[in-house]
Structure 1
Amino acid sequence: MTADLSVYLVTDSGAAARAGHDIVEVVRAAAAGVTAVQIREKDATARGFLDTVRRVSAALPREVAVIVNDRVDVFLAARASGARVDGVHVGQSDLPPAAVRALIGPDAVLGLSASTPEQLAAAAASGVVDYVGIGALHTTATKRDAPPALGHAAFARLVAISALPAVAIGGVTAADLPVLRRSGAAGAAVVSAICAADDPGRAARELRAAWDAA
């Protein structure tokens, strides 16, 4: 399966709650502008994560891809329950991509976080990864183990050598999107720009407009 990753929301229930929002309502509003949603629940129980995946999936139109962060078991359980889930995104310390692909099947989207030339080369050589998430673009507080900030110039150099479509992540705002698109990025992943926004729907539309205008 291929997915449009151009405006890619990664959820943060904590940031949404601090802004006075329920994460499912954030996602429903953001559907006005985003093309994919990755459900990331680092502190949730497996059952709680599964419940969030099912509710988020039900809130999104079919054209918005639903990606599960890290937890292949939650992806499989959601799919077995009848929820629409399109793929999994894993990090360098999670299950190896080949093992993930064997579990999720050939048609699901598989993304992998990468931040070095060596990691990009390994992702491409695996033959099973569909896209890479390169970051952190800027310093970010939404991911405790985020690598050091790359900045636009270093991101562009990594995109240029990546054999796979690349999505930027890490402190990304609407102002970054034109630069990222011109550098060859397949998309931009945002967390706080939508989850912590006063009006998540408007924020998503502004991101969409910024990408489309680049």
Structure 2
Amino acid sequence: MGPVKKIDISKYLVVGPENTKGRPVATIIKDAVNAGFTCIQIRSKVASAKELIGLTRHAAEAIEEAGKSQEVALLVNDRLDIVLAARKQGIKVDGIHVGQTDIPVNVCREYLGEDSIVGLSARADELFEYIKTEDVSQLDYFGVGPLRETQTKPDCGLGKDGKVITRSLADIAKISEISSIPVVVGGGVKLADIPSLAQTGVDGFFVVSAVTEADNPKQEATNLVKAWNSYKSRKRQLTKQLTPPN
């Protein structure tokens, strides 16, 4: 079975064993996918290579069990070696997500092929410049954040001076406007943020703890999906009403 043809980053979950309050990563993923999440990223700074391959296998199985292997993309954060090793074992992994200080995008593309997905988190202090000046032809989407400081990833948005640069809604709207590729926003995102985030024009939101550390992950995932879909549905209806007939 080939990779997902076109990535849908509208409802994007990032998860690793350090984020689940001791619950199985695969169970959280299964709940999120069944609730309507469209993209899953495995990210862990504590798991061994063997554990990461196992997590990737369990994630792929959870997506397959939900019947969504051709709709929901499975990505691995940072670790090109894990993607390659998992694929060697017959695990369906659709691609990788890297930062500017990780393995270069062109190297990821060379090893993973044109059919794979490559996403990038640009450095917070260089984001506007990067989006305007860099060649994004090798990328499928940008990850942008944080919306606010988050304990899940304390170094998210760190500038050169060591201070966290958070992103205002105006910043996010500008990024969405100038980017030639899809943009997904996260970093401390909660249910109450979804309507205002959706209004910025970005292509999606990503969350970690809002789902992975929730008392009821499936319910929280469902609430987030409904909130995003509800806004987008209203916008489509409004656009239809405002479009003059031929």
TM value normalised by structure 1: 0.94
Find the structure with the greater CA-based Rg: 2
Match of 1:14, SS state, is helix
1:171 aligns with 2:197: no
Match of 1:201, SS state, is helix
- Could you say if the C-alpha distance between residues 42 and 158 of structure 1 is closer, same or farther in structure 2, counting changes exceeding 3 Å? same
**Equivalent position of 2:235 in the other structure:** none
2: distance between equivalents of 1:176 and 1:33?
18
Identity %: 39
**Aligned residue identity for 1:24:** A
Q: Highest relative contact order (Cα 8 Å, sep 6+), 1 or 2?
A: 1
1:96 aligns with 2:104: yes
CA contact (8 A) 2:147 2:168 kept: yes
2: distance between equivalents of 1:178 and 1:163?
23
Cα offsets for 1:147-195 (capped at 9, x unmatched): 1211222222222211110000100112222222221111000001100
**Equivalent position of 2:12 in the other structure:** 8
1:12 positional shift: 3.3
1: distance between equivalents of 2:133 and 2:77?
20
1: distance between equivalents of 2:133 and 2:222?
35
Q: How many residues align?
A: 211
1:122 positional shift: 4.6
**Aligned residue identity for 2:47:** A
**Equivalent position of 2:222 in the other structure:** 205
Structure 1 segments of 4+ aligned residues over 2 angstroms from their partners:
none
Any stretches of 5+ residues in structure 1 without a counterpart? none
1: distance between equivalents of 2:204 and 2:133?
21
1: distance between equivalents of 2:92 and 2:228?
26
TM value normalised by structure 2: 0.82
**Equivalent position of 1:117 in the other structure:** 128
CA contact (8 A) 2:60 2:93 kept: yes
1:94 positional shift: 0.4
**Equivalent position of 1:134 in the other structure:** 144
